[in-house]
Amino acid sequence: MRLVIIGGDAAGMSAASEARRRAPEAEIVVLEASRDVSYGACGLPYKLVPGADVEDLNIISAERFRTERALDVRLGHQVTSVDSAGKMVRGQADTGPFALSYDKLLIATGASAVRPAIDGLESLWGKGAYVLKTLQDGRELKAALKDKPRHAVVVGGGYIGLEATENLRKAGLEVTVVEALPSLVPFVPEAMRQRVMQEAASQGVSIRLDTKVVEVRRGASGRMVVGTTGGAIETDLVLVAVGVRPNVAFAKQAGISLGAGGAIAVDDMLRTSVEDIYAAGDCADAKHVVTGKSVWIPLALRANRAGKVAGQNMTGSRTTIPGIVGTAVFKFFDLEIARTGLSEQEAKEAGWDVVVATITSSTRAHYYPGGGKLFVSLVAERKTGKLLGGSMVGPEAAAHRVDSVAVALHAGLGAKELYAMDLAYAPPFGPSWSPLLIASSALMKAMKVD
């Protein structure tokens, strides 16, 4: 039996490793377009600071996968087409074109940074303008930082943009973030958005909201000029972080059905619409536990988990993968920004009559030194109190406290049930009434439940 896996990062290598554990005799071929396999892409922003090395993000080398797990990892192999009738993949390698038959195929091609069609940008990639998605992107950006740029424009204030902003700042650059939307972190309530803006200001970061980039060019002085709807910004370096797109080109050509966000539609066994073809990771969709609908929320845990399940099912198991609730967290200087489930707007768009409670509490007992204000917001269905989502912003505690809400969402709990929870307390870690309980109580009040 030959298993072919297209893509050698989180999902692909998890699948390959799991398949190997379960099927010691199977031939397992991993086709990776780049030169890198299995790396911690989420760590890229943190490697922008001086002294940090992008190569530290490598987890297991292709060579180790070959020798220790007997996986036939082929680097520089770009798949260009899949013939599902003939069960063949075809593509281009350094050594020329290749064709390979498969018994079971996994598409784990991930997602790519969006490179928007902005005037002048096309010719500047790698020469002043960068994205930050792959290890190679990281190497190029690190190389550019060796020229000691004084100022950077970060286009896009999503979590990659903001994580990069923090680290560029720590690398000594002035940073201006240009965000097309009228707000950063639009998935949290206004008070929490303001807290994030305040953090940016206190860290000396300039944030331009409601501003679109219309042009990027190299000016007469040799510096870059970023033309925006709010005027031109002169800078040394442009980092474009306006999101990612699933890599589905050949999947689409092969007639594989696409789902949410244009990602490959998979069922709960990670099967695509075409027999013997699976998909996992950032290129595939997932079922949202709260809405029951297909969504595309490409995050690391799901990619790892889906890879593992795909590896099981390609070797004869019938394991189902659980749905997701979209739990995400990131650090922005001295703030933790976390969310899970649906935002108020998402819940409304999904048709719910919602009630929202946003409270501020503190990350330590009032008499315990340090800490700060913790914002907690919960979204629930008005009629039943069923929790739909939550978010937290604070200098500590948000990143891990949000998991309690995620568990509650998976368990289908309501505000009253969350309020009943016996949660941890000690003075260094919060007030005796956990902020989550205070928020649940506020939710019940907003629902007029006693």
Q: How many Å apart are CA 202 and CA 198, to the nearest integer?
A: 6
Smallest distance, Å, CB 218 to a copy of itself? 33
Which C-beta is closer to a copy of itself: that of 93 or that of 446? 446
Smallest distance, Å, CB 231 to a copy of itself? 33
Q: Residues 6 or more apart from 295 whose CB is under 8 A from it? A: 260, 261, 285, 286, 287, 288, 324, 326
Neighbour order of strands in the sheet with 151-155: 129-130, 237-240, 151-155, 174-178, 206-208
Catalytic residue among 1, 26, 42, 328: 42
Smallest distance, Å, CB 183 to a copy of itself? 21
Beta strands 27-32 and 2-6 are parallel
Which C-beta is closer to a copy of itself: that of 181 or that of 365? 365
Which C-beta is closer to a copy of itself: that of 195 or that of 401? 401
Indicate if 283 belongs to the active site.
no
Which C-beta is closer to a copy of itself: that of 278 or that of 330? 330
Angle between helices 300-313 and 10-22 (to 10 degrees): 30
- The amino acid that residue 285 corresponds to is D
Smallest distance, Å, CB 27 to a copy of itself? 24
Which C-beta is closer to a copy of itself: that of 190 or that of 422? 422
Residue 64 class from Cβ within 10 Å (0-12 exposed, 13-18 middle, 19+ buried)? middle
Which C-beta is closer to a copy of itself: that of 129 or that of 436? 436
Angle at 269 between CA 268 and CA 270, to 5 degrees: 90
Q: How many Å apart are CA 211 and CA 194, to the nearest integer?
A: 18
Which C-beta is closer to a copy of itself: that of 74 or that of 339? 339
Neighbour order of strands in the sheet with 354-362: 328-332, 335-341, 387-394, 373-381, 354-362
Smallest distance, Å, CB 42 to a copy of itself? 5
Rounded alpha-carbon distances, angstroms, from residue 168 to 46, 50, 154, 331: 9, 10, 10, 14
Q: Which long-range contacts (CB under 8 A, 24 or more apart) does 222-228 make?
A: 224/124, 224/128, 224/129, 224/153, 226/153, 226/155, 226/178, 227/119, 228/178
Smallest distance, Å, CB 356 to a copy of itself? 20
Contact of 52 with 45, CB cutoff 8 Å: no
Smallest distance, Å, CB 407 to a copy of itself? 4
- Interacting residues with a copy of itself (CB under 8 A): 10, 40, 42-43, 46-47, 56-57, 59, 289, 299-302, 304-305, 317, 319, 322-331, 336, 338, 340, 365-368, 397, 399-404, 406-408, 410-411, 413, 417-418, 420-429, 432-434, 436-437, 450
Smallest distance, Å, CB 253 to a copy of itself? 31
Residue 398 class from Cβ within 10 Å (0-12 exposed, 13-18 middle, 19+ buried)? buried
Which C-beta is closer to a copy of itself: that of 24 or that of 370? 370
Q: 331 forms bridges with which residues in the sheet?
A: 336
User: Which residues participate in catalysis according to the annotation?
Assistant: 42
